[in-house]
Amino acid sequence: MNDRRPHRRVLLAAIAKEAGRTTGGQAGPGWTLVLRGQPIRIVDGQTQGGCTDVFELICCDCGDDPDLDYRDVSPELQQIRGPFPIAAGIAAYKKHVVWHQTRQATHPGESSAARGRL
């Protein structure tokens, strides 16, 4: 991560550690949900212009693709993504994890799309 704001790097590292993720530009292996700084723009899967001061949720289980820009995903995925200030993003992350756990317990084997999430 090339963020020049040390307080943000420390905060993101703490969030990543709690979520079992890594920082440095990519989530850890096998991740499906991540709270990340919202890029200014993504072109051909690459961040252009750095990140904004807000955060977004990327949930691959809901059909999102981290290589797509916010403007290039469906309105349903935009609603999941946010954007969020950091505290609201952490709360949304936790709520989304619980949502998946609850749905998985009540509908084992179904994908999020099949359960009507999108």
Domain count, the chain: 1
In a domain, 62, yes or no: yes
Find the domain containing 78 and state its range.
Answer: 27-106
Say what the pLDDT of residue 43 is.
Answer: 82
- What does the block give as tokens for 17? 């550690």
Say what the pLDDT of residue 28 is.
Answer: 54
In a domain, 10, yes or no: no
- What does the block give as tokens for 22? 């890594």
Spell out the per-residue pLDDT of the chain, length 118, in tens.
444 444 444 455 555 555 444 444 445 556 789 998 888 878 887 777 777 889 999 999 999 998 898 899 999 999 999 999 999 999 999 999 999 999 888 877 765 555 454 4
In a domain, 95, yes or no: yes
In a domain, 14, yes or no: no
Query: With a threshold of 0.75, does the pTM exceed it?
Result: no
Long-range contacts, 12-18 (Cβ 8 Å, 24+) = 12/37, 15/90, 15/93
